[in-house]
A and B are shown apart, each in its own frame.
Chain A
Amino acid sequence: MVINVAPKSTKPKDFKDDFWKSKDIKISIGEIAHDEAKGGEEDVKMGPTPKPNVTDLRSWDMKLIDRYEPFYAPFCDMCCLCTYGKCDLTEGKKGACGINIEAQQARMVLLACCIGAAAHSAHARHLLEYLIEKKGEDFPIDMGNNVDIEAPIIRTVVGIIPKTLGDLREAMDYMEEQNLHLLSSCHTGQEGSNLDFESKALHAGLMDNLGKEIGDIAQIVALNMPKGDADAPLVELGIGTIDRDKPVVLCIGHNVASGAGVIDYVEDQGIEDDVEVCGICCAAIDITRYNQHAKVVGPISKQLKFIRSGVADVIVVDEQCIRTDVLEEAKKNQAKVIATTDKMCLGLTDMTDEESDKIVSQLINNQIEGALILDPDKVGEVATKVAMQIAADRDMLKLLPDMDEIQKVAHECTECGWCTRVCPNGIPMMEAVVAAGEGDFTKMEELYDNDICYTCGRCEQECEREIPIMSIMAKIGENKLKEQKFNIRAGRGPIQDVEIRRVGAPIVLGDLPGVVAFVGCTNYPEGAEDVAKMAEEFLERNYIVVTSGCGAMTIGEYRDEEGKTLYERFSGDFDAKGLVNVGSCVSNAHIPGACIKIANIFAKKPLEGNFEEIADYILNRVGACGVAWGAYSQKAAAIATGINRWGIPVVLGPHGTKYRRLYLGRTDKEEKWQLNDIRSGDVVSGEPAPEHLLYAAENREEATVAIAKLCIRPNDTSKGRQLKLTHYIDLHRKYFGTIPEDVYKFIRVEKDIPITYKKDIKSILEEKGWEPRALPQEPSIRDFPDDSKAEIQGK
């Protein structure tokens, strides 16, 4: 019995026990959500958990983490969060507050998820209020003719059907309240159980998903971004696409408001052909969703390279993932910085209420080192005017040292090796610098290509000779400018309902081998090409590949032997062989959104207030797998944890272990994989599918095989299982040279055996003493009849 002592959310609930879930009991619970747009004809029955409080989905979380036990890899042996400490938590020691190492790790994960959720949601709140101010709170949420389920996460979690921008406030209020309670539990002397910290982290992840959906819906409808358009246009991508002879305004960050302000001003003035407006990170994605004349410089890994190149005359920063030393870097080549949100003010004077021309004058005359302007329209005017006035004078500043000079400074290298040691990936920077000192720039070029060096700059500040390694890297890039021209399909936003109708059945039955989503940041262990190659591998195997943010840009930077990008080779349809760029970080919400829609549109599961049933459906039937290969920020922690709560597994790159916690399954513990067949009422043995919920792979090859395996689901038909196993075995043979020895665990009946591998697999089955088992008709991990589970466990 769980005693709920947490503060109630704005919508109290009456039913917290499980009795209503029992078979054969049909009762109506909670409020009715009215679909007024359809004349109020569709009254939607509210499920059991609208606006779930911190503990309301705890039982679901405990089911998940009973099967996928938290795996902790402490990043630090101590706790330094309070003044009792630092406390040493090694060898079973507890902190002065009583916390142990497991709970401390889980607490830090929760903290990261709260930060991530806050970043997305504060972004969403800012956008929402800004857009309501511009368009009015009654501005309709119209996602186009092909999207009726406009807000699957809001519907499922909050239990409302938002019709206007103003309606989104209710979801926002709820999310903010929840995040406050969650953050509170990180305080010293609150939660003491690592498992409850995990449950809270999962809740924070869910809130993150919610915040993202609010933000993206608001900007899609109010800024008229693509609404599920599979044929969204290809837009230019790459450092080489930026016309250096024009004034350049660079937008960095995630909040489209200020970038849109720049584009609006440029359009209003009719000077689109005279100014380059471009972006880095998700700001780039979203300004191209707003206006396809804007250009994408590239993902976050291009940030320091591009700033150092001096090409940007004005740098407009908004929020998230921006270098916090951007002002210092900009000063080096006299670029001007405009900060535009309360999240990042950079110590600059607030000029919001000043006349635009006065700000322009002060910036041009170096009377101020930058400006904080909190009005996006004014940002547009000031940034454009400044860029146009200083561009000509900055021509010489756009020239990096010539190659002779680079060779001379690189020759100063003492070969101490610390540049390599402090590199997050330990890349051979010293060898590249030494070679450059001898006039051989090829090694440096190799590090530049595909962002093997993602220019964090740690090497440069470590150098005892102060060799400007990042400037050398930027210069090397200039030598390859002509090659740095790619494209990306503009972010399309949601998946259309009609697409879900088309692929829902093939996905759930396993005829379509899976949906693989490449998301997240670009601190890739061995460069960006790994992500593109994984995407290519799964596209060629008929998977649906979804992507967003920096991952989407990375995929666009890869060309095949014929010089085509993956966006040119594959359509933007949410279907087999489709490469679907949903948009920016906040657009990630459409990925679980698509899975939710499958449960609703294909399986007719009601959404409103019905989280647990939907998540259980996704876990057991929707063969989707997320990949965050360059996991980096707290946002990525929140994204992955939220995705996990919906029952979707995620594969991280090797840096992902630094999040401190994974969710790993144990295939040797058969009792963990039992399933409740809801239709028959029987408890049946299941397979480890998906085997892990949050996994970190050491390299691309391992990840590729893991992804294929993680798309297997208990609900697969035999035909679907054959198909999925064929891909799993093919890839295992390709990268490991053998048929996987665990393949027998996924064979339920002989019909599951892929024909191509029948002989080999039969031999394995014989060796393992395999026996056929029943296929569940409606697999679930909920509502086990306790007695029968105990009976089976007893065996």
Chain B
Amino acid sequence: MDIIGIDLGDLMNERVIPWQPTVIAGPKQALLVTPETAKMMLKKAKRPLFVVGPLAKEEPILTLTKEIAEHWDLPVVTTGDAYKIFKDAGLDSKQNGIVEIVNLLKDPEWKGVKGEGQHDLVMFIGCIYYIASQGLSTLKHFAPHLKTLTICKFFHSNADASFPNMKDEEWLKYLEKMKTD
């Protein structure tokens, strides 16, 4: 379909080509989700986990991330050096390297951050794109017991479900929607 010279097919492709296009790994690609679908996944999950990386330290993402975690009462793992700033902002979390938490998540016997059992949904925001992509690949291959969801402004093809590539303005609207039921 062509409207005023813009091919909508191209526009759609643009949203679901991995942000770094060469991370395409093979035939299994993430499902493109909206905030509504993402929220349904959270509602359905019995033991969700929120993994927050250092790219979420800047405002307004920091506050939005905190509010999303609080709204859904999610246990939080912070990676990189994100722990301190979120603690100062009033959000308690467990500090882990991203490879450490992924290593734990892939073990079906691990008891989860609360000791209540392995998680069944892991939502990511703010991890460095390419290391997150590698971690998502680990979970794609070795953690059939859980689903992965990314709510960054980048499409993550190695996740089970991902927001599309977006500009900041649209992404902030998406995150605002994640704060509500």
Q: A653 — nearest CB in chain B belongs to which residue? A: B131
Question: What's the least CB distance linking A319 to chain B, in Å?
Answer: 26
Alpha-carbon distance A71/B97, docked complex (angstroms): 14
CB-CB under 8 A from B25, the residues of chain A are 74-78
The answer to whether B130 touches A736 (Cβ under 8 A) is: no
| Chain A residues within an 8 Å CB radius of B28 | 77, 90-91
Q: Which of A91, A421, A424, A701 contacts B81 (CB 8 A)?
A: A701
Chain B: interface size category? 35 or more
Total A-B residue contacts, Cβ distance less than 8 Å: 118
**A632 smallest CB distance to B (angstroms):** 13
In the bound complex, how far is the Cα of B118 from the Cα of A668, in angstroms?
Answer: 14
* The residue from A101, A658, A699 contacting B134, defined by CB atoms under 8 A apart: A658
Do B80 and A701 touch (CB < 8 A)?
A: yes
Interface check B76, CB cutoff 8 A: no
Of the listed stretches A111-119, A205-213, A496-504, A690-698, name the one at the interface; the rest are far from the partner chain.
Answer: A690-698
Q: Is A657's CB under 8 angstroms from B80's CB?
A: no
Residues on the B chain within 8 Å of A31, using CB: none
Interface 0/1 of A87-112, CB less than 8 Å to B: 01111100000000100000000000
Q: With an 8 A cutoff between CB atoms, is B98 at the interface?
A: yes
In the complex, what residues of A have CB within 8 A of residue B83's CB? 736-738
Find out whether the CB atom of B130 lies under 8 angstroms from the CB atom of A654. Answer: yes
- Asked if B95 is at the interface of the complex by the 8 Å CB criterion, the answer is yes
Asked if A101 and B99 make an inter-chain contact with CB atoms under 8 angstroms apart, the answer reads: no
Task: Tell me whether B27 and A698 are in contact (CB under 8 A).
Answer: no
Measured CB to CB, the nearest residue on chain A to B22 is A422
Of B36-44, B65-73, B135-143, B168-176, the one touching chain A: B135-143
Q: Does B79 have its Cβ within 8 Å of any Cβ on chain A?
A: yes
When C-beta atoms are compared, the residue in chain A nearest to B100 turns out to be A664
Contact between chains at B26 and A78 (CB < 8 Å): yes
- Please tell me if A73 contacts chain B, counting CB pairs below 8 Å: yes
| Interchain CB contact under 8 A, A737 and B97 | no
Residues of B within 8 A of A144 (CB): none
The answer, yes or no, to whether A72 is at the interface (CB within 8 Å) is yes
Closest chain-B Cβ to A656's Cβ sits at a distance in Å of 9
What's the least CB distance linking B136 to chain A, in Å? 9
Known contacts A73-B135, A74-B137: does B87 contact A424 (CB below 8 Å)? Answer: no
Task: Check: B88 CB closer than 8 A to any chain A CB.
Answer: yes
Interface residues on A, range: 35 or more
CB-CB contacts below 8 Å: B38-91 with A: 53-54, 79-81, 83-84, 87-88
Kindly list chain B residues whose C-beta atoms are within 8 Å of the C-beta of A424.
Answer: 20, 130
Q: Is the CB of A738 within 8 A of B87?
A: yes
Interface residue? A337 (CB, 8 A): no
**Contact mask A175-210 → B, CB, 8 Å, 1/0?**
000000000000000000000000000000000000
Residues of A within 8 Å of B34, CB to CB, are none
Tell me which residues from 683 to 715 in chain A have a Cβ below 8 Å from any Cβ of chain B. Answer: 695-699, 701-702, 706
In the complex, chain A residues whose CB is within 8 Å of the CB of B99 = 71, 73, 657, 662, 664, 695-696
A666 within 8 Å of B by Cβ?
Answer: yes
In the complex, chain A residues whose CB is within 8 Å of the CB of B54: 698-699
The chain B residue with its CB closest to the CB of A418 is B21
Contacts of A662 in B (CB 8 A): 99
When distances are taken between beta carbons in the complex, the residues of chain A under 8 Å from B100 are 664
On whether the beta carbons of A654 and B128 are closer than 8 Å, the reply is yes
| A 517-535 binary contact with B (CB < 8 Å = 1; else 0) | 0000000010000000000
CA distance A282 to B102 in the complex (A): 36
On whether the beta carbons of A76 and B26 are closer than 8 Å, the reply is: yes
Task: Point out the residues of chain B lying under 8 angstroms from A421, CB to CB.
Answer: 19-21
Roughly how many angstroms separate A386 CA and B137 CA in the complex, as a whole number? 51
**Complex alpha-carbon distance, A72 and B106, angstroms:** 10
Does any Cβ of B come within 8 Å of A323's Cβ? no
**Within residues 53 to 100 of chain A, which ones have a CB less than 8 A from any CB in chain B?**
71-78, 88-92
Q: Which of B84, B130, B144 contacts A737 (CB 8 A)?
A: B84
Pairwise interchain contact B134-A90, C-beta atoms closer than 8 A: no
A736 to B96 CA separation, bound complex (whole angstroms): 11
**Chain A residues near B27 (CB, 8 Å)?**
77-78, 88, 90
Given A90-B26, A658-B130, A664-B103, are A75 and B80 also a contact pair (CB < 8 Å)? no
Given the known inter-chain contacts A71-B138, A78-B26, A90-B27, please indicate yes or no for A698 contacting B80, CB distance below 8 A.
Answer: yes
Q: How far is the CA of A198 from the CA of B80 in the complex (A)?
A: 28
- Asked whether, in the complex, the Cβ of A72 is within 8 Å of the Cβ of B141, the reply is yes
CB pair B21–A698 under 8 Å, yes or no, is: no
Given contacts A73-B135, A90-B26, A658-B134, contact A699 B88 (CB under 8 A): no
In angstroms, Cα B132 to Cα A696, docked, is: 12
With A696-B99, A699-B80: A737-B87 Cβ-Cβ less than 8 Å? yes
Selected from B97, B104, B137, B140, the residue in CB contact (under 8 A) with A695 is B97
CB distance from B118 to the nearest CB of A (A): 13
Chain A residues, Cβ within 8 Å of B87:
737-738
Report if A757 contacts B (CB, 8 A).
no
Q: Does A7 contact B (CB under 8 A)?
A: no
Q: Pick from B19, B88, B95, B127 the residue with the most CB of A within 10 Å.
A: B95
Bound-complex Cα distance A248 to B88 (A): 54
Residue of B nearest to A656 (CB): B131
Tell me the complex Cα distance, A23–B126, Å: 54
Query: Provided the pairs A421-B19, A735-B81 are in contact, do residues A698 and B130 lie with their beta carbons within 8 angstroms?
Result: no
Is A696 within 8 A of B131, CB to CB? yes
* Chain A residues within 8 Å of B103, by CB: 71, 664, 666
1/0 per residue B109-152: CB within 8 Å of A?
01000000000000000011111001101101110100000000
Tell me the minimal C-beta distance from B22 to chain A in angstroms: 8
Q: Whole-angstrom distance between the alpha carbons of A737 and B85 in the complex?
A: 9
Residue of A nearest to B80 (CB): A698
Q: Return 14 A-B CB contacts under 8 Å, by A number.
A: A73-B102, A74-B137, A75-B25, A76-B26, A77-B140, A77-B141, A90-B26, A91-B28, A422-B21, A657-B131, A658-B134, A668-B104, A698-B53, A699-B54
Given contacts A89-B141, A696-B97, A702-B80, 18 further A-B contacts (CB under 8 A): A72-B141, A73-B137, A74-B137, A74-B138, A76-B26, A77-B26, A78-B26, A88-B26, A88-B27, A90-B141, A424-B20, A426-B129, A664-B103, A696-B131, A698-B54, A698-B80, A702-B81, A735-B84
Name B residues whose Cβ lies closer than 8 Å to a Cβ of A.
Answer: 19-22, 25-28, 53-54, 79-81, 83-84, 87-88, 95, 97-100, 102-104, 110, 127-131, 134-135, 137-138, 140-142, 144
Query: Lowest 4 A-B CB distances belong to which pairs?
Result: A77-B26, A701-B81, A698-B80, A737-B84
